[in-house]
Chains A and B, each alone.
Chain A
Amino acid sequence: MKFVDEYQDNELARKIVSEIATLSTIPIKLMEFCGGHTHAIMRYGLRQLLPENIEMRSGPGCPVCVTANADLDKAIALSLLPNTIITTFGDMIRVPGSYSSLQQARARGADIRIVYSTTDALEIARNNPEKAVIFIGIGFETTAPTVAAAIVHAQKEGIKNFSVLSCHKLTPPVIRALLESGEVKIDGIICPGHVCVITGSRPYEFIPREYQIACAISGFEPLDILLCVYKLVKQIENDSPRMEIAYSRAIKPEGNKPALKLMNEVFEPADTVWRGIGTVPCSGLRIKEKYQCFDANKIFKINMKPARENKACRCGDILRATATPVECQLFGKACTPEKPVGPCMVSSEGACAAYYQYRRPEKGHDAS
């Protein structure tokens, strides 16, 4: 397939891998921020191809996984209100909250519909004027502009039964929080490709500048990732950390200005809770007051039971890159895609799901 096959070329991949092997002399630890990268790395077995001294860790870049239990519980509670339709991206539906999941709520009669875009959620609102249609807004800078667009559109069109439960999150603040915590020692970061299409590379330049950590933004095909690893290894070996774009066909340093403008029109940064990480200052997106009639948090007041977590689940450690999925004692035993305990086993961008789905048989569940 054009524009895909070129980035999956076996021979080129081997060439890059051999360049990396020649270049790489010291043990290094890289973190791929984005769950999409974790999946591509596992799906194409890239870790098998890379030299053993290069360790890869997944980061917190899975929007479903980092959604706080309390937010998920609220979405479930909203779904149980009468005359309500919940619209959501697919992954959310199976994630276990503190007491239930959207999937279980749906089986009990809640009207929960999977949509592929906010346009579809708006369409459902148009077609069901007697019902409150709530969109569960999750995702990073990638999805937030489209949700902002839907809200602006709803206002222009006078759609009054549409609202958004914003659980949106910003990526640079959480990277800073992870680096500040000092918990995880990493030498380089594979920066999020899709997010940077919107934000550009500039919001991440503080990483090499302030923390002397190598950075490169990668696409999601295997050759993209290998090229990115090559660039990171080169920066680390030469002790010259900086921000590089290894995904130039999609990313400009300044990002997508109209999308950012739209996002800033509707949302403003607010402190928010990341599952497994805790409250990170100014890392969430709250709907601005002038759009509050679309803010599900303002429209619906519900009493919630306190959120709770399964103590044995190590999704938090995995999201902070302090553990790999195989280090969790539940992984592949009590926690599988069929019976997920934590969100990382559910989402198509979750690290545990990737490690489990694409595991190598030789070493039991260990996909490394």
Chain B
Amino acid sequence: MIQDENDIILLAHGSGGKLSHELVENKFLPFLSNPVLDKLDDSAVFEVRGRIAFTTDSYVVNPLFFPGGDIGKLAVCGTVNDLSMSGAVPLYMSLSLIIEEGLPMKELEQVLRSIKTTSEETGAQIVTGDTKVVSHGQADKLFINTTGIGIIPDNINISGAGARVGNKIILSGTIGDHGIAIMSLREGLKFSVPVESDCQPLNKLVQQMLETSPTIRCLRDPTRGGLATTLNEIAAQSQKGILINEDAVPVKEAVRAACELLGLDPLYIANEGKLVAVVESSEADKILASMKRNPYGKDAAIIGEITAEHAGKTIMKTRLGSSRMLDMLSGDLLPRIC
């Protein structure tokens, strides 16, 4: 029986036997219960009609818990946000855990609680799942995979290729928060920054934006690789140029300070709760105003536009008025030496 709060995950919890069943019934179901999941059949069975968006992502963040979130919240937000970037309303998700033996049960519970809270906020239900336990050293505490499906309303057509010359580019808030919050906790780099991860679900914000203007051309969440990489992806997919203003990109002062110190550029640092929208110029102000009414979009800003020049490339106008290319992230972000 799993009673003791000090219990840890054992290899046997993944064996498929008694302990596995207890884990599902005593730990997973109390947090994730819903009519589809509760049947505990081999597959989740439900009806969906319309155009379906389908996405998957794996989460291996280290540490598991960080200011502003944890791996559970991240695993729900990441997949919900990927669905939302197609304009889909997220409906159902799968949840697969690969656990390293020895993970404290309390930590697992904390992650499950966070998955419950976040999935409730998004409205997407966890309807199927799997758990595997591996020996020490074969995984780093806990890896999570989530897969999600959502429905795209008929009138919505969103794609990276959809950007048109003259469209405006809106960013939903400050960049670099997640990357800096995580980096500040890593071994060998312990420093204290008053910055929390921006890990947050964007589906409600996107719904609100689409209600304001269903003509949004392109949505993308700038996660790994940061804003610069996302803009380059849009430029390449649409074969249009992108021009952004360095001054218009919102960055928290603490993030800027940490970046100055470490020799990093916030434009390349990961976000987990921000989006970039390419919208018709005539709709931009209206959409921006609607975003600002949502707590997850309160710092939204128009940062640039789509151009005919420099097709496939992103150009940035610097604070000093000069301009330069903004390339994709290359390799890992590394600290400078002096």
Residues of A within 8 A of B (CB): 1, 4, 8, 10, 13-14, 36, 42-46, 48-49, 63-64, 89-91, 93-94, 113-117, 120, 123-124, 138-140, 142-143, 194-195, 222, 336-338, 347-349, 356-361, 367
Q: In the complex, which of the residues A94, A116, A359 contacts B325, with contact meaning CB atoms closer than 8 Å?
A: A359
A36 neighbours in B (Cβ, 8 Å): 336, 338
| B295 contacts the other chain (CB 8 A) | no
> Considering the chains assembled together, what is the distance between the CA atoms of A360 and B325 in angstroms?
6
User: Which of B188, B318, B320 has the most chain A CB atoms closer than 10 A to its own CB?
Assistant: B320
| Cα(A8)–Cα(B310), bound, Å | 27
Contact A1–B253 (Cβ < 8 Å): yes
New A-B contacts (12) at CB < 8 Å, excluding given A94-B331, A338-B331: A43-B324, A44-B318, A45-B318, A63-B337, A63-B338, A64-B337, A116-B335, A142-B338, A337-B330, A356-B327, A360-B325, A361-B310
Beta-carbon contact of A10 and B319 below 8 Å: yes
Q: Is B43 an interface residue (CB 8 A)?
A: no
Question: Can you list 8 residue pairs at the A/B interface with Cβ under 8 Å?
Answer: A45-B318, A64-B337, A89-B337, A90-B332, A90-B337, A116-B335, A120-B189, A358-B325
Assembled-state Cα–Cα distance A200/B325 (Å)? 36
Closest to B255 in A: A1
Give the contacting residue for B324; candidates A63, A115, A194, A360; CB below 8 A. A360
Complex: A3 Cα to B320 Cα, angstroms: 17
- Report whether B336 and A348 are in contact in the complex, using a CB–CB cutoff of 8 Å: yes
> Is residue B168 contacting chain A, with contact meaning CB distance below 8 A?
no
On whether the beta carbons of A44 and B319 are closer than 8 Å, the reply is yes
Tell whether, in the assembled complex, residue B335 and residue A89 are in contact, meaning their CB atoms are under 8 Å apart.
yes
B263: interface (CB < 8 Å): yes
Contact of B320 among A49, A63, A89, A114 (CB under 8 A): A49
Contacts known (A222-B320, A361-B310, A361-B313); A337 close to B331, Cβ less than 8 A: yes
B188 and A1 contacting across the interface, CB-CB below 8 Å:
no
Contacts of B320 in A (CB 8 A): 8, 10, 13, 44-46, 49, 222
User: In the complex the two chains form, is A1's CB within 8 Å of B257's CB?
Assistant: yes
Give the contacts of B306-338 with A (CB-CB under 8 A): 310, 313, 315, 318-325, 327, 330-332, 334-338
CB of B227, distance to nearest CB on chain A (Å)? 15
Task: Across the interface, name the chain B residue whose C-beta is closest to A119.
Answer: B188
Which residues from B are CB-within-8-Å of A357?
A: 325, 327
Give the nearest-CB partner of B265 in chain A: A43
Nearest chain B residue, comparing its CB with the CB of A63? B337
The answer on a CB contact under 8 Å between A194 and B188 is no
Task: Please indicate the chain B residues that have their CB under 8 angstroms from the CB of A49 in the complex.
Answer: 320-322
Q: Does B224 contact A (CB under 8 A)?
A: no
A111 to chain B minimum Cβ distance, whole angstroms, is 13
B171-190, CB < 8 A from A? 187-189
Question: Given the complex, which residues of B lie within 8 Å of A138, measured CB to CB?
Answer: 337
Find A139's partner among B315, B321, B334, B337 (CB 8 Å cutoff). Answer: B337
Specify which chain A residues have a CB less than 8 angstroms from the CB of B313 in the assembled complex. 361
Say yes or no: is B256 at the interface (Cβ < 8 Å to chain A). yes
**Nearest chain A CB to B185 CB, angstrom units:** 13
The docked-state distance in angstroms from the alpha carbon of A246 to that of B324 is 26
Q: State A320–B256 Cα separation when bound (angstroms).
A: 34
Complex: A356 Cα to B325 Cα, angstroms: 9
Q: Does B130 contact A (CB under 8 A)?
A: no
Contacts of A42 in B (CB 8 A): 324
Q: Which residue of B lies closest to A87 (CB)?
A: B188
Q: Does B211 contact A (CB under 8 A)?
A: no
Chain A residues closer than 8 Å to B253, beta-carbon distance:
1
B25 is an interface residue with CB less than 8 A from chain A: no
B22 interface residue per 8 A CB criterion:
no
Whether B334 pairs with A114 at a CB distance below 8 angstroms is yes
Q: Which residues of B contact A91 (CB under 8 A)?
A: 334-337
Measured between beta carbons, the chain A residues less than 8 angstroms from B188 are 113-117, 120, 123-124
Residues on A with C-beta less than 8 A from B189 are 116, 120
Nearest residue (CB) in B for A143 is B338
The answer, yes or no, to whether B260 is at the interface (CB within 8 Å) is: yes
- Known contacts A91-B334, A91-B337: does B263 contact A45 (CB below 8 Å)? no
Q: For residue A117, which residues in chain B have a CB less than 8 angstroms away from its CB?
A: 188
- Does the CB pair A4–B256 fall under 8 Å? yes
Q: B337, A358: Cβ atoms under 8 Å?
A: no
| A10-B321 contact, Cβ under 8 Å, with A4-B256, A91-B336, A361-B313 | yes
3 smallest CB-CB distances across A and B, nearest first, come from A45-B322, A90-B334, A337-B330
* Bound Cα distance from A358 to B325, whole angstroms: 5
CA distance A49 to B324 in the complex (A): 12
Instruction: Report how far A226 CA is from B325 CA in the complex, Å.
Output: 21
